[in-house]
Structure 1
Amino acid sequence: MGVAAMPRAIARRPILSGLLPGAAALVAGRAGAQGIEPAEAPRRAERWRDLKQAILGDRPTEPAGPALDLSAPARAQDAALVPVAIALSAAAAPAARALYLVVDENPLPLAAVFRAGQPGALRALTARIRVDAYTYLHAVAEMADGRLLETARFVKAAGGCSAPIAGDLEAARQRMGRMRMSLPEGPPAPGRAVPVQVAVSHPNTSGLQIDQLTRLSIPAEYIRALRVTYAGAEVLRIESEIAIAENPTFGFTLAGAPGGELQVVAADNRDRRFEGRWTLGAAG
Structure 2
Amino acid sequence: MSTPLPHTVRGEADGRPPVVLLHGFAGDALGWTSVQLALERRRRSIAFDLPGHGRALAWPEIGHAGLAAKAVTASLDALDLPAVHLVGHSMGGAVAALIALRDPGRIASLTLVAPGGFGRDINHRLLRRFAAARAESEIAPLLEQFFGYSARLPRRMAAQIALGRDEPGRIEALTTVAEAILDGEGQRTVDRDGIGALTAPVRVIWGEDDRVLPVRQSEGLAGAIAVHRFAGVGHMPHLEVPSAVARVVAEQIATA
TM over 0.5: no
Higher helix share: 2
- For normalisation by structure 2, the TM-score amounts to 0.27
- For normalisation by structure 1, the TM-score amounts to 0.25
- Pair member with larger Rg: 1
Higher strand share: 1
